[in-house]
Structure 1
Amino acid sequence: LAAWVHGDPRKVIYPTDSYGQFCGQKDTLNENKTILFYFNILKCASPVVLINLQCPTTQLCVSKCPDRFATYIDVQASYRYKPDQWNYFRQFCKPGFNNPRKSVAQVLRDEDCPSMIIPSRPFLKRCFPDFSTKNGVLTVANQTTFKDGRGKTRNVTDLREAANGINNVLDARSVGMKIFEDYAISWYWILIGLFIAMIVSLLFLVLLRFTAGVLFWIFIFGVIGIIGYGIWHCYWEYDHLKGIPGSDLTVYDIGFQTDFRVYLQLRQTWLAFMIILCGVEVIIILMLIFLRNRIRIAIALLKEGSRAIGYIMSTLFYPIVTFILIAICISYWAVTAVFLATSGEPVYKVMANQTLCKYANLTCDPETFNTTNVTKLCPGAQCTFAFYGGESLYHRYIFIFQLANAFVFLWLVNFAIALGQCTLAGAFASYYWASRKPADIPLWPLFSSFGRAIR
């Protein structure tokens, strides 16, 4: 109940900018800004990304990704006679910023605007560099280098490393969401496959009373034949390697090798395989000889089980009930887990490129961060959104609640499975104890058994 009251699944559905606001959420200022833009994507190649699962740069919601190379220095220098360039560039600045007269150093210090923009395209609702290859060379907009807006010329391979850093974060965060999306896209194919499997299984079970013995012996003799072929092949390889230099070496002589094909060049290897297969073949044949009566009983039980299913056809459809119950359990667990994971307030932390910054990973307030001395002691540090959480008693025990949710999930799943086993066992027991089949079998044996199991 607490999870459903405090949780907010929108925190999983929508990307979140550095201010904890959702990108693309309806009835907000970001309703038409569905894509997350990174001010300096090069910082996403920092090891801090993997440690904190957060890129240490300002992240902003935008309506579209940049489609050109540009730097703030160049745009500011030409804003008087090229206002269109300024108007285009400032849509990637902080909302409300429109002061091209502000010095470049102050703009970059306060993170009012990005130092550069690069041609990008949306991927997973985030702006990624628009990579392409030209004559086998990695390019962005047919360029292999670009200006980073801080006086340096960089190679596009730096962008690829940064993009890989973000991908690692996304993989760590959204594996479950990707699985859910795959199911959402291909659910009808899954249902078609399950339906076909159900029909094939139905035919197999119904016909088992006539084909149980034949299928069993075909399987047994098939196994014997395959092993026999393996013995012949091992002997052929053993004889074929005769006289080849180096084939008479032993496994001990060549020692441990990572390439298994080295061992296949030795006669000793094939001799060992042949001896092992011969032993398995002899064991199977001896089991068939000494357990022939048991095998006949097993075949008779298979035939009798097929007859029981023929009299109680409704048992073939009960697994659908078990499937639905387990699906409900999984859905309840997943939804509750999402609500628990998102039941918190935005928490902001200091993201610093310098590993020795004493303020790194400390909580901060983005509204007052620029007035503190953190940026002076740790140049380039940012107060960015980290995760959803809190300091209340409830938030401190969210992990315990997740464990309890997992325990309830496992208990309910096993209960659904056990309920199905008891129901089917009771239904087939009514067939087994019926003196005259099918006259003495109850009218609705499956429903009667289900009622007894519930009671």
Structure 2
Amino acid sequence: MLTPSKPFTRRCFPAINVKKGVVMVGNATTFYDGDQKQRNVTDLVEGAKKANVVLEARQVAMKIFEDYTVSWYWIIIGLVIAMLISLIFVVLLRFLAGIMIWVMIVLLIAVMGYGIFHCYMEYARLKGTAGSDVKLTEIGFQSDVRVYLHLRQTWLAFMIILCIMEVVIILLLIFLRKRILIAIALIKEASRAVGQVMCSLVFPLFTFLLLCLCIAYWAITAVFLSTSNEAVYKVFNETVCDYAGKTCDPETFNVTNVTRLCPDATCQFAFYGGETYYHKYLIVFQVYNFFMFLWLANFAIALGQVTLAGAFASYYWAFKKPDDMPAFPIFSSLGRALRYHTGSLAFGSLILAIVQLIRVMLEYLDHKLKGADNTFARFLLCCLKCCFWCLEKFIKFLNRNAYIMIAIYGTNFCTSARNAFFLLMRNIIRVAVLDKVTDFLLFLGKLLVVGCVGILAFFFFTQRIRIIQDTAPTLNYYWVPILTVVIGSYLIAHGFFSVYGMCVDTLFLCFCEDLERNDGSLERPYYMSPELSHILWKKDAELLKSSESQS
């Protein structure tokens, strides 16, 4: 911590006011700094706090960087393991969908049960340990996470959270047991479709590369815009100098009087500024650049969705599967999307990008109004944020189903969105039974992959596996690689399971459309597989009968 100081009795003391040989320390509230300017003592305290926060943040950042340098290859190995587990899980779903779903549910409950047991054992182990009964509110924020792990209250909170999650999942499984059987049938059919279109599992990499290009283009453009102003240079000097902090010209600085009056002064770059013509429009350019990033990113995602939907729709509407399917479903669907549907995808992405930009602006206003005392303005802003959040979710859901209808019929965006919306409304019971329960099961699959990899990473980086205990790197914060592996594993699992989710949504809309267009006769036969037809018709009849009896 650096504070203003001056010599006193051959010692370096803080620059406190010295009068008549007496150092005023006791009740003095002001002092004179090195420039003989009167300042308040509280300035030292506030400056010390800010300096400590900055120094502590720098130390934490350096330690995190050191942890990454010694554990990056182990993080990559963990992500590769997550990818292999996800791939194995998807391949097993192809042959053992029903068994895998129930095994996944049991394993997830077992993993969460072990988490509860581990938290209880740590809570019991810390009983009687000195300092373990301190409350979390008393210690405040600590950069070292290991401080929290030595408190009983931390493990008690973890145990309570896991218990609540365990009870909620078990209750959902009990009440949705019949619907889970229907969802398993749909997942089996999706497994067959994915098995016939194996390229769909690696297609998310194409979408990921497009998103990387969008992010890179946005970042490069933002940097060019921020550095498009004139470079401002200022005088920097370690000693007292009247010209310190003033602007200067590096080309003529050496011939000015500044170097003569302040020999140690240098003319260094400070920031980009100036009063150029387009300086006042720079923020508009940055907003436009960010809006274009949102538009392009949503377009890349929409292109991936309509491509997968077209490939899986070609599987469903093939009367003789897989003989009537195209040779390369993914490439055929991608070609159709790029040739005929770019306008529809751009329009749907534009609507979503506008809503997302409004949400970002509302977040910016909320950040600026945090210190405001206007309660009504804060309440109105909170309501707007909630409304636009719901609107964004609805538009994403509508766009996803509109893209499926575009892939099936080739109609424009507005027509496809209208047809998809009314088709879902006419089959609202099936939507609640099949679509959402299937999404819930796929979400459990993501949690299972993340839980397995996260537990393995925890035991490895905390050196609790005795066989390879010496192999694990020595870390400042072992939560850094663990958190990185967990987040990366979730993204990888989401990439694999998103293919299944798109396949299920496509097959579901095709199934609803098949029921409305055909009646199962020889003239208009169903295109669904016999297994799906038998299970869905049987379970659907039971659900409709039960709903009619309740009404």
TM-score > 0.5 by shorter chain = no
**Higher RCO structure (Cα 8 Å, ≥6 apart):** 2
The structure where helix makes up a greater share of residues is 2
- TM-score, normalised to structure 2, is 0.38
Bigger share in strand = 1
Bigger Rg, structure 1 or 2 = 1
Q: Using structure 1 for the length normalisation, give the TM-score.
A: 0.45
